[in-house]
Amino acid sequence: MKKNDYKLPNLKDAQKRTKQQVKIEKELFEVPVEVKNLGVDRKFYLRTYGCQANERDGETIAGILEQLHFTQVDTPEEADFILLNTCAVRKNAEDKVLGELGSLKRLKQTNPDLIMGMCGCMAQGEEIVDIILKKYPHVDLVFGTHNIHRLPKLLYQAMMNKERTIEVFSQEGEVIENLPVKRFGTHKAWVNIMYGCDKFCTYCIVPYTRGKERSRTMEDVLAEIQTLIDEGFKEVTLLGQNVNSYGKDLGIDGGFARLLEEVAKTGIQRIRFTTSHPWDFSDAMIDVIAAYDNIMPFIHLPVQSGDSDMLKIMGRRYTIEEYRTLFDKLASKIKNVAFSTDIIVGFPNETEEQFQRTLDIVEYCQFDNAFTFIYSPREGTPAAKMQDNVPMEVKQDRLNRLMERTNHYARLKNEAWKGKTCKVLVDGPSKKNKDVYSGYTEQQKLVNFTTDQKIKAGDIVDVEITDAKTWSLNGKQV
């Protein structure tokens, strides 16, 4: 491919939002004849980083590659095509990928026909793709999050025509149904209900890497779930960067509450959803969650900061009082509900008092689980342009102090389950010890347990909790 044929990412284009409704493409996925057998006698290695949306994309990519007759392998050494499906949410995620790409270079020496590829959110970044172009000449293929359906053509070009291939669309196209999928789980599945994000929190790169909010239709989501039920799946997790916004672009009023209720009525045993933004979490949603036993009592509710001024600068659209009110409402209406959250420390100019308010909200909510991060500037976002007066040591110290508290409450919340019996969806025997099984409770707690019965992955069993640790519970089946 000649250099000027590259389709490179552009963050300004990625930021644009059009009012136009997105077309939903329902044609069957077909590949050109010459590409159909590209994978015969060839193997691929796929490694996915980051969030569940990426994991689900990985399943589509694997589905497409298997349709081309590629075989998936577990180590890069065996592969003819290596693909890293990447995350751009923080710099350390990007550094990991660049390190991995560097270390995989050696495999090109033993296998010059090896095709090395990178896709996912990092591919949407101007700066990163520029680095790849200049410093990673062994990377043959780069494609973006809006280009996955074009993989057969792009891979053919890189593999058969030996052309370095870079194709990153900075604006979303249609919502494409009917792409192949290879589910990596046997009883738990991810289901996209929408793509993209329009929130533009000032620190976040996701609205740029994943485009504007586009919902799938309710009938497509429900049809996918029915297929999963027929295939024996027990749990679905409905995915969206902010599921509360589901249906707004399609003009469906109260979209997520309605969808959730319809999914509950399918009778699938367990329903989860992520992520919910605290800003538009409606009462109707709470009522539906409370009303159906198959909607799991577990809510991931990112708070980000405990200080209202900081939340405003972050573009979060709620005050900490509003967060607390929502939290209380959820806790009082949903029986035995558990919460997890995301928290950022060291946002530009965060004061010690502001950080103290973050500790206060942790004391107040006592989260079952918290994902805590040091703020990482992302090129193209408004926060990346802010001057910052907080030294890195201070940020690190705040993270340590925060984690001490969040870990304390994670343990405390687990301790409360000692002596109680809970329902566990079995994942299978534990990797370390075949006599011990593991699975998750309704509150999304990992349980390792012993049993004298014959059980298998996908069963839901009653387990009495005998011991609690910070990140897991121990128990025995009753």
436 closest CA partner among 444, 445, 421, 426: 426
Residue of 44, 355, 375, 417 interacting with ligand 5AD (CB under 6 A): 375
423 binds ligand SF4 (CB under 6 A): no
Stretch that binds ligand 5AD, among 128-136, 208-216, 359-367, 371-379 (CB under 6 A): 371-379
Q: How far is the CB of 142 from ligand 5AD (least distance, A)?
A: 22
Q: How far apart are CA 142 and CA 369, in angstroms?
A: 35
Cβ-closest position to ligand 5AD: 342
281 binds ligand 5AD (CB under 6 A): no
Q: Which does 375 bind (CB under 5 to 8 A by kind): ligand 5AD, ligand SF4, none?
A: ligand 5AD
Q: What mask, x for binding ligand SF4 by CB under 6 A, covers residues 186 to 205?
A: -----------x-xxx--x-
Q: Which does 212 bind (CB under 5 to 8 A by kind): ligand 5AD, ligand SF4, none?
A: none
Structure tokens at 293: 């036993």
296 binds ligand SF4 (CB under 6 A): no
Sign of the alpha-carbon torsion through 338, 187, 87, 143: negative
Stretch that binds ligand 5AD, among 32-40, 80-88, 370-378, 397-405 (CB under 6 A): 370-378
Whether the Cβ atoms of residue 463 and residue 478 lie closer than 8 Å to each other: yes
Whether the Cβ atoms of residue 185 and residue 428 lie closer than 8 Å to each other: no
- Residue 200 phi, psi dihedral angles, 5° rounding: 50, 50
Q: How far apart are CA 274 and CA 150, in angstroms?
A: 27
44 binds ligand 5AD (CB under 6 A): no
Please list every residue from 203 through 242 that binds ligand SF4, using CB under 6 A. Answer: 204, 206-207, 241-242
Whether the Cβ atoms of residue 94 and residue 88 lie closer than 8 Å to each other: yes
440 closest CA partner among 454, 426, 428, 452: 426
Alpha helices (H) in 111-242, listed in sequence order:
126-135, 151-159, 206-209, 218-230
Q: Identify the DSSP state of 297.
A: S
Whether the Cβ atoms of residue 247 and residue 255 lie closer than 8 Å to each other: yes
Stretch that binds ligand 5AD, among 291-299, 312-320, 328-336, 375-383 (CB under 6 A): 375-383
Q: What mask, x for binding ligand 5AD by CB under 6 A, covers residues 103 to 122?
A: --------------------
Residues that bind ligand SF4 (CB under 6 A): 197, 199-201, 204, 206-207, 241-242, 277
User: Which residues contact ligand 5AD by CB under 6 A?
Assistant: 89-90, 203-204, 302, 304, 342, 344, 373, 375-376, 378
